[in-house]
């Protein structure tokens, strides 16, 4: 009997890569909220109980760097920033809906 070596290579296991993108404090919750429309930093602090500025800021930065969120500066007075799901982020919505149906 041959045994197959299990690796953590994201190229051979897309699920592992996805889990890595969404792992971290508040990332799954931010992603879930972004499905419903644009997000503002202050609303995230208010809506995510137990969160703080540092952890929300880090999670937003990492989600943006991973290509799941995009940051848009709204040049109105007062100047503000909104976060939207990117096209890559939107492509994951059906995956999460399927998972939701399984639970």
Tens-digit pLDDT profile for the chain (103 aa)? 455 555 555 566 877 887 888 888 899 999 999 999 999 999 999 999 999 999 999 999 999 999 999 999 999 888 899 999 999 999 999 988 887 888 7
Q: How far is CA 86 from the centre of its chain?
A: 10
- Name which of 74, 52, 62 is nearest 22 in CA terms: 62
Residue recorded with tokens 């919750």: 29
Q: Which fold has domain 18-102?
A: Arc Repressor Mutant, subunit A (1.10.10)
Q: Give the global pTM.
A: 0.81
CA–CA gap between residue 14 and residue 100 (Å, rounded): 19
For helices 53-65 and 27-34, give the axis angle rounded to 10 degrees.
Answer: 70
Domain ranges of the chain: 18-102
Residue recorded with tokens 């709204």: 74
């Amino acid at each position: 009997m041959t045994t197959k070596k299990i690796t953590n290579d994201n190229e051979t296991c897309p699920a592992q890569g996805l889990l890595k993108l969404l792992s971290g404090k508040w990332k799954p919750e931010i992603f879930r909220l972004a499905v419903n429309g644009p997000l503002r930093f202050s609303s995230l602090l208010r809506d995510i109980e137990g969160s703080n500025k540092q952890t929300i800021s880090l999670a937003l930065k990492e989600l943006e760097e991973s290509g799941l969120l995009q940051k848009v500066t709204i040049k109105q007075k007062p100047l503000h920033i909104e976060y939207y799901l990117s096209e890559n982020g939107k492509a994951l919505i059906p995956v999460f809906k399927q998972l939701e149906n399984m639970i």
